Amino acid sequence: MVDQRQIELSQILIELYDKISSWEHAVVRKSGLSPAQMHAVEIVGHHEKLRMKELAEKMGITTGTLTVMVDRLEREGLVSRQPHPTDRRSYVIVLTENGREQFEEHHQMHCLLTAEITASFDDEEMDRLKGYLERLVQRF
């Protein structure tokens, strides 16, 4: 049986997701990319280079779906495929200079949003929130 706290928490999580999603769509719209494409750029930006399989896993999509997305990002001049240095069968995805600029701009927007959301939190609250979010991410 679901208790009242779980119902309330579920409603808050849904509202938070909706607000962050709406913000993300508004910010990404200016770039001309889809949110999924910007998410791919963002993940590669944080990791410098990733195999296709690794990027697909981080995004929760199939390698086939990712291939189509990377083709588009490559045509847009944001990423490039490079042969893996030790595995002749695979490629790594890296950001181009233009992709790095897109990543930096988008990352800065995320940092500003985080600062705005947590402006009223003290250090202890920030540490607790970080711990809670890390646990939530691990559960998925």
87 confidence band (pLDDT: 50, 70, 90): confident
Domains located in the chain, CATH noted: 33-139 (1.10.10.10)
Average pLDDT over residues 28-41: 91
pTM of the model: 0.82
DSSP secondary structure letters along the chain? ---HHHHHHHHHHHHHHHHHHHHHHHHHHTTTS-HHHHHHHHHHHHHSEEEHHHHHHHHTS-HHHHHHHHHHHHHTTSEEEEE-SS-TT-EEEEE-HHHHHHHHHHHHHHHHHHHHHTTT--HHHHHHHHHHHHHHHHH-
Q: What is the pLDDT of residue 1?
A: 72
Which tens digit of pLDDT belongs to each residue from 63-85? 999 999 999 999 999 999 999 88
pLDDT reported for residue 29: 87
